[in-house]
Amino acid sequence: MPLSFRHLTSTKQLSRADADAVLSRAAAMDKVLAKGKPDDRMHGKILAALFYEPSTRTRLSFETAMLRLGGQVITADGFQFSSLYKGETIEDTITMVSQYADIIAMRHPEQGSADKAASVSLVPFINAGDGPGQHPTQALLDLYTIAKERGKVDGLRVAMVGDLKFGRTVHSLTFLLGLYKDLHFTYVSPKELKIPEKVTSFLKEKDIPFEEMTTFDGAFDADIIYMTRIQKERFADASEYERLKHVYVLHADQLKGKNATVLHPLPRVGEIDPDVDALPNAAYFRQAKNGVPTRMALIEMLLEG
């Protein structure tokens, strides 16, 4: 089925039907990848990857996704070298780039930049992260990972831990999971980094149960433990970052006898000890791998529309 939108800037755009369709197409793309053979369904198509903030997994998985589909990629990275640094508006940049490519993925440090870009793009546009705002493709690959690891999405207990104030992945995933039934959320963070009102008001409006706490113990009875790093780049005061950076560290012994699937959008900077890596429920590297089929699915579906 086609998606109900042409540009993807926020998980709030998706319906349950949209989300389920992406999961189904991502599963089909996993089968394409498993064949290990070239695929040419995007032959002649070009993805423009515009990354004005540092990125490893997101950028590489977008580029890999397009190449695996037989398409090509053009790139621009580094804010200091960009036309934006010279004073060009986001709108002018996107208007120009959308005449070079068939689809655009952009990461930018300014919250709201994706909406500006989508408002003028002549081709499908995908938000690859807009500052502390949204990261919809990360949320979709997280959703795909949850469905694969747990066999379902409805009825799960989800604990989110760490930087919940600036964590765009946490915000995006909460909005997306809100499409599903009988979920319960536990948010674990220092009071300085608590989940923002835009998220809690959404949960209240949807009558989705949640709790907020500062102690890590509240996470261990969940089905999903979604760890996040304390983001140094979001702090104006370096000493505040140093005080909070290792406030929650997950160790293998804390998961003994537990059935929780551990996720993390990566990179980790100490909040998951390497002793967790060998556990069967440590799914964060499989989660990163799922970025390729999920983004393959989105690229194809948006270019079909």
Which one of the listed residues 58, 137, 174, 261 is annotated catalytic? 58
Q: Provide the b/e sequence for 226-253 (b: ≥16 CB within 10 Å).
A: bbbbbbeeebeeeeeeeebbebbebeee
Examine the residue annotation and report whether 169 is marked as an active-site residue of this protein.
Answer: no
Examine the residue annotation and report whether 251 is marked as an active-site residue of this protein.
Answer: no
Q: What angle do CA 229, 230, 231 make, to 5 degrees?
A: 100
Region class of 43: left (phi > 0), else alpha (psi between -120 and 50), else beta:
beta
Which one of the listed residues 7, 25, 68, 107 is annotated catalytic? 107
Which one of the listed residues 31, 37, 86, 191 is annotated catalytic? 86
Examine the residue annotation and report whether 268 is marked as an active-site residue of this protein.
Answer: no
Examine the residue annotation and report whether 171 is marked as an active-site residue of this protein.
Answer: no
Examine the residue annotation and report whether 43 is marked as an active-site residue of this protein.
Answer: no
Which one of the listed residues 25, 108, 135, 194 is annotated catalytic? 135
Structure tokens belonging to residue 65: 């996704």
Q: Which residues are catalytic?
A: 57-58, 86, 107, 135
